[in-house]
Chains A and B, each alone.
Chain A
Amino acid sequence: EDKVVQSPLSLVVHEGDTVTLNCSYEVTNFRSLLWYKQEKKAPTFLFMLTSSGIEKKSGRLSSILDKKELFSILNITATQTGDSAVYLCAVEAGLSGGSNYKLTFGKGTLLTVNP
């Protein structure tokens, strides 16, 4: 069974701090790893990573994948209260015996940024 494990499960920081969120995985037929931010409702897409060692960056957020060690990190620098959300890591992997793929989500990291 595919597994995605995120840590920590929750984190409280002050505005301006830098945070690192972790995601490790054990899947067969890995295709990609995605990070989403979920506030009240829809998970919103942040990054997709398919290759090891290539950092994806968007403003204060960045992410990198290590396919040898089977993990990814999401960094947020100079955190703001608007960064408060659940950050979900998901891995797309192929199902055995066919050409179908599915996303398996981790439990998420609840980030709270206090003013």
Chain B
Amino acid sequence: DTEVTQTPKHLVMGMTNKKSLKCEQHMGHRAMYWYKQKAKKPPELMFVYSYEKLSINESVPSRFSPECPNSSLLNLHLHALQPEDSALYLCASSQGRSAGAKNIQYFGAGTRLSVL
């Protein structure tokens, strides 16, 4: 089983709203990732958590706030977003450091976010 579950599938929010995206995996993976994907573009890395600690932040604006409550869950808290933040947000997970060079990332189906 290589399933990564993301909720919600679709989200529409206003620029003053606060919302959260959720991601869950039960593969025992210790690394989890958030990516942003605009139409007809490849995924762009936002954040990496390794063993529940934030290890990479790709200079993402503070209106995006990640959280990793435990090894199976990853959240992305959204506040005061801009229309240009509308995109598909993908979560991924992988074994992490213990996999060495065989660190395959498995992706969820994504949350399609529209900011009005």
Give the number of residue pairs across the A-B interface with Cβ within 8 Å: 54
With a cutoff of 8 Å between Cβ atoms, the chain B residues found around residue A108 in the complex are 42
Complex-state Cα separation, A103 to B47, whole angstroms:
12
Complex-state Cα separation, A36 to B102, whole angstroms:
15
Complex-state Cα separation, A32 to B95, whole angstroms:
14
With a cutoff of 8 Å between Cβ atoms, the chain A residues found around residue B97 in the complex are 99
Complex-state Cα separation, A41 to B104, whole angstroms:
18
B32 at the A interface (CB under 8 A): no
**Which residues of chain B have a CB within 8 Å of any CB of chain A?**
2, 4, 41-45, 48, 50, 55-56, 88, 90, 97, 101-110
Complex contact B104–A48 (CB within 8 A): yes
**Nearest CB in chain A: distance from B110 CB, A:** 5
Chain A interface size band reads 20 to 34
**Which residues of chain A have a CB within 8 Å of any CB of chain B?**
31-32, 34, 36, 41-45, 48, 50, 88, 90, 92, 95, 99-103, 105-108
Q: Which of A32, A36, A41, A100 contacts B56 (CB 8 A)?
A: A100
Complex-state Cα separation, A43 to B35, whole angstroms:
12
Chain A at the B interface: SS class: strand
Q: Which of A41, A92, A106 contacts B42 (CB 8 A)?
A: A106
**Nearest CB in chain B: distance from A45 CB, A:** 6
Complex contact A45–B110 (CB within 8 A): no
Complex-state Cα separation, A22 to B103, whole angstroms:
22
With a cutoff of 8 Å between Cβ atoms, the chain B residues found around residue A34 in the complex are 104-105
**Most B-side CB within 10 Å, residue of A42, A92, A106:** A42
Complex-state Cα separation, A73 to B80, whole angstroms:
43
Complex contact B109–A102 (CB within 8 A): no
A42 and B104 contact, Cβ closer than 8 Å, known pairs A100-B55, A108-B42: no
Complex contact B2–A45 (CB within 8 A): yes
Complex contact A42–B56 (CB within 8 A): no
A45-B2, A100-B55, A103-B105 given; name 7 further pairs at CB < 8 Å. Answer: A31-B103, A36-B107, A42-B90, A50-B101, A92-B101, A100-B56, A102-B56
**Nearest CB in chain B: distance from A80 CB, A:** 23
